[in-house]
């Protein structure tokens, strides 16, 4: 029998990746520390009790993006923002990071410097130090330029926010337009000439969501990276055992993202974002939280895009602008490879 | 002016790597959490105070070894043991890990399974869970098979053990023979036919050094991976501002390591080990600690190999078997590339 192989689509945030992760996870019987959130939850990060009863968060992310420099950021800013965002959307205050670089022999020092500067600037802005690191150099041709693996650590000061916390009646909020990152990278890589400039939305969301977390009214939260909005909503629906109903007219999407998606036959709901958070919130606090978000530069296009219901648990349903419905499934694989 | 480039030798644990790390580090102004050990110490891991005053350890390591399967282990066992050992030699009890896999498209599932099984077995043996993970797949030809980045987290129950703690009069102990890992990989890669089988010494040292740490008599400790024994001793000497005097006759080295080193012109003191720890200990406890180590299967060849002195701070001096002296410098680059 021929050996099964790892396929490119298995790295893509969709169902194919779920299979690979399940395959990987199935090898391990230890998956958490005491009652903390462990790898079995497939949440953004892991938590573990300290010896003295406070909860800490640990999360890791490998970054293998192509191109490594793009409009709006580079692999370095992506590595910091991506990992810190995973810490934040668990409801934690980011406290420390580690960074492991894997660099191709012959990589330009000046390019490395640009990447490191972006990382350092973002760490400074967040006031989060990288407290441990590792550097490997691989021979030419054995790694494409550079990969960066960052691990983030945080402390939960209030209560942790899990994917499983959405309740019927909750409102669904996005902190901004979706699909920018994936389409910006694709446009850059393919040399597409867009009428309007489209930048990646790479950014740390901590300053945006900090006060929102403190309201205690956020029931579930996730950053829509691989798998996009669709990936996030499907995680909420299945882990919270609810359905999510999205009003298509209210979902903010930039015209350039719509245009590129139409040309290339992509579903914008499947496209990777960075620097965004999707949350479910208590209905009575939805308007207040929306205003808090809109008052922040990163959240000026925030919108209430839907509602959590009890019926049809596990499903994400799009209510279209012409009054129809469609089921939004998780993408099979990442429609745009190597965007994070 | 031509751009400076990253050279292969910069990944090798020697002075060339120090330059690269210093270059990387120089970009960051934040390097630690409060009074914890941060990246500026270039110790095995980082520590940071919890909100309630207990000390935690965080450390990260990228593994890009070639071949990925070798006599005595594989990239998976290496990734777990290597990172956990970094946590342990700080004086901490390992508590949790994260793992990020970067896999080449087309990688065999059966090979992945073997690697994951080794990881899981070692986690089980150590009772340390992987609590967060990430998986990326890169297109064929953009990564050589697989890279694994593991991050380790631990709690210091007594006091942390730093590279800077060696004091004049302390004895230097190795927990076993040096150079096995590097030479075993080299032999495998080059198809060398050794008279005696030589296995990599990949192993977690926690069970070996746990009781030794509890004596409170270990003043500095490090695992000799990239840079070998030479790298460790030079770190002790410079960070502790002492000299280290090594009695060549007492350093345990297997005949196969001696033979391969002689043939290829390698210095065994520069060759990577795994599953070993080098420590300086209070002189009055040296014999007792040596016996504790010898009573453990991983420590049966442990030996007192030298002494810490006040004169000539920063130097490592080998006292040769014919009564001479030579200065042992850090290797310029890893003599055997891609062994960890």
* Extents of the domains making up chain B: 8-156, 163-327
Q: Which residues of B touch A5 (CB under 8 A)?
A: 105-109
* Closest partner CB to B133 (pick from A39, A56, A136): A39
- This complex has an ipTM of 0.89
Strand partners, B306: B172, B246
Record: fold of A163-327 = Phosphoribosyl-aminoimidazole Synthetase; Chain A, domain 2 (3.90.650)
Q: Please, which residues bridge with residue A127 across strands?
A: none
Closest CA to B184 of B168, B201, B209: B201
Compute the distance between CA of residue B199 and CA of residue A305 in angstroms, rounded to an integer. Answer: 59
pTM of the model: 0.90
In this predicted structure, what is the pLDDT of residue B130? 85
Measured in whole angstroms, the distance separating CA B213 from the mean position of its chain's CA atoms is 17
Q: A151, A159, A297, A301: which is closest to B133 by C-alpha?
A: A151
3-class DSSP assignment, residue B141: coil
A39: chain B residues, CB-CB within 8 Å: 129-133
Residue A35's closest CA among A24, A50, A14, A18? A50
Which residue shows structure tokens 């919890």? B50
Least confident of A299-313, B20-34, B320-334: B20-34
Residue A25 has a CB neighbour count (10 Å cut-off) of 15
Q: Which has the minimum average pLDDT: A51-55, A215-219, B276-280? A: A51-55
User: pLDDT digit string (tens) for B8-61?
Assistant: 666 555 667 677 777 777 776 676 666 666 666 666 666 666 655 567 888 999
Q: How far apart are CA A93 and CA A157, in angstroms?
A: 7
Section B303-326 average pLDDT: 96
**CA distances in angstroms from A181 to A144, A213, B178, B221, B265, listed in the order given:** 21, 24, 49, 45, 51
A contact test, residue of B95, B136, B141, B333 with most A CBs within 10 A: B136
Render pLDDT for A9-49 as a digit per residue (tens, 0 to 9).
665 556 676 777 777 777 766 766 666 666 666 666 666 66
- Confirm if A58 and A151 have CB atoms less than 8 A apart: yes
Tell me A143's DSSP state.
B
Give the CATH number of domain B8-156.
Answer: 3.30.1330.10
Among A99-113, B251-265, B275-289, top mean pLDDT goes to B275-289
CB pairs below 8 Å between A and B: how many? 315
Given a contact cutoff of 8 angstroms between Cβ atoms, the answer to whether A236 and A162 are in contact is no
Say whether B128 and A54 touch across the interface (CB within 8 A).
no
φ/ψ of B218, rounded to 5, equals -85, 125
A204 in Cβ contact with A333 (< 8 Å): no
Is pLDDT above 70 for A102? yes
Q: Would the pLDDT of A1 be above 60?
A: no
Tell me: pLDDT of B1 over 50: no
B291's enclosing H/E stretch is helix B286-294
On chain B, the residues whose CB falls within 8 A of the CB of A151 are 58, 60, 98, 100, 132, 151
Q: Which residue has the higher pLDDT, A48 or A61?
A: A61
Q: Which residue has the higher pLDDT, B176 or B71?
A: B176
A211-223 residues labelled b (16+ CB within 10 A) or e (exposed) = ebbeeebbbbbbb
Tokens representing B167? 């004091």
Arithmetic mean of pLDDT, A93-112: 89
């Amino acid at each position: 029998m021929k050996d099964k192989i790892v396929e490119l689509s298995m790295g893509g945030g969709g169902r194919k990746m779920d299979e690979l992760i399940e395959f990987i996870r199935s090898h391990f019987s230890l998956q958490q520390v005491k009652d903390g959130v462990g790898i079995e939850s497939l949440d953004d990060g892991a938590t573990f009790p300290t010896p003295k009863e406070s909860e800490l968060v640990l999360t890791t992310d490998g970054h293998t993006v192509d191109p490594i420099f793009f409009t709006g950021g580079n692999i370095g800013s992506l590595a910091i923002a991506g990992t810190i965002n995973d810490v934040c959307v668990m409801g934690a205050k980011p406290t420390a990071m580690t960074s492991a670089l894997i660099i191709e022999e012959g990589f330009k020092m000046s390019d490395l410097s640009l990447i490191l500067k972006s990382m350092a600037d973002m760490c400074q802005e967040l006031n989060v130090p990288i407290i441990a690191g590792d550097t490997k150099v691989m021979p030419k041709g054995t790694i494409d330029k550079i990969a960066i693996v960052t691990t983030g650590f945080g402390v939960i000061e209030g209560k942790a926010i899990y994917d499983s916390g959405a309740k019927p009646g909750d409102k669904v909020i996005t902190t901004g337009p979706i699909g920018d990152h994936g389409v910006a990278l694709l446009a850059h890589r393919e040399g597409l000439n867009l009428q309007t400039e489209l930048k990646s939305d790479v950014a740390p969301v901590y300053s945006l969501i900090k006060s929102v977390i403190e309201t205690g009214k956020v029931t579930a939260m996730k950053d829509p990276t691989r798998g996009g909005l669709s990936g996030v909503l499907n995680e909420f629906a299945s882990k919270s055992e609810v359905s999510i109903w999205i009003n298509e007219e209210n979902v903010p999407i930039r015209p350039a993202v719509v245009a590129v998606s139409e040309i290339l036959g992509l579903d914008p709901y499947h496209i990777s974002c960075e620097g965004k958070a999707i949350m479910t919130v208590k209905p009575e606090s939805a308007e207040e939280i929306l205003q808090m978000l809109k008052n922040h530069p990163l959240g000026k296009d925030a919108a209430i895009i839907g509602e959590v219901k009890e019926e049809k648990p596990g499903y994400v349903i799009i209510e279209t602008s012409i009054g129809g419905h469609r089921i939004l499934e998780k993408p099979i694989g990442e429609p745009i490879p190597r965007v994070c």
